[in-house]
Structure 1
Amino acid sequence: MQTPTHDEAIASTREWLEKAVIGLNLCPFAKSVYVKNQVRFVVSDATEPAQLAEELAKELRLLADSSPEEIDTTLLIHPYVLQRFLDFNEFQDIADAIVEELELDGVLQVASFHPKFQFGGTGVNDIGNYTNRSPWPTQHLIREASIDRAVEAFPEAEAIFERNIDTVTKLGVEGWQALFAPKH
Structure 2
Amino acid sequence: MDVISSTQSWVNNVIVKYNICPFAKREVDRGSIRYCEEANTEIEGVLDRLTVECEFLDTHPETETTLLILSEACSDFEHFLDLVYLSNHLLQMSHYEGVYQLAHFHPDYCFAGDDENAASNYSNRSPHPTLHLIRESSMEKAIAAHPDVEGIPDRNIAFLNKKGSPFFADLLASCLLVNK
Q: Indicate whether the TM-score tops 0.5.
A: yes
Aligned pairs for 1:145-160 (under 5 A) are 145-160=137-152
**Number of aligned pairs?**
175
> 2:71 matched to 1:113?
no
> 2:166 matched to 1:174?
yes
Match of 2:12 among 13, 18, 21: 18
TM norm structure 1: 0.90
TM norm structure 2: 0.92
Amino acid of the residue matched to residue 153 of structure 1?
Answer: A
> 2:120 matched to 1:140?
no
> 2:83 matched to 1:83?
no
Counterpart in the other structure of 1:32: 26
Aligned pairs for 1:63-102 (under 5 A) are 63-67=57-61, 70-102=62-94
Structure having greater relative contact order (Cα 8 Å, sep ≥ 6): 2
CA distance in 1, matches of 2:38, 2:127: 14
> 2:55 matched to 1:61?
yes
Gap runs ≥5 in structure 1: none
Residue 90 (structure 1) shift: 1.3
Residue 49 (structure 1) shift: 0.9
Q: Aligned to 1:125, what secondary structure does the other structure show?
A: coil
After the TM superposition, which segments of 4 or more aligned residues of structure 1 sit over 6 Å from their partners?
Answer: none
Q: Deviations over 1:41-91 (max 9, x none)?
A: 000011111110110111112112321xx2000000002001100010111
Gap runs ≥5 in structure 2: none
CA RMSD of aligned residues (A): 1.5
CA distance in 1, matches of 2:16, 2:136: 20
Counterpart in the other structure of 1:127: 119
Percent identity between matched residues is 34
CA distance in 2, matches of 1:179, 1:46: 27
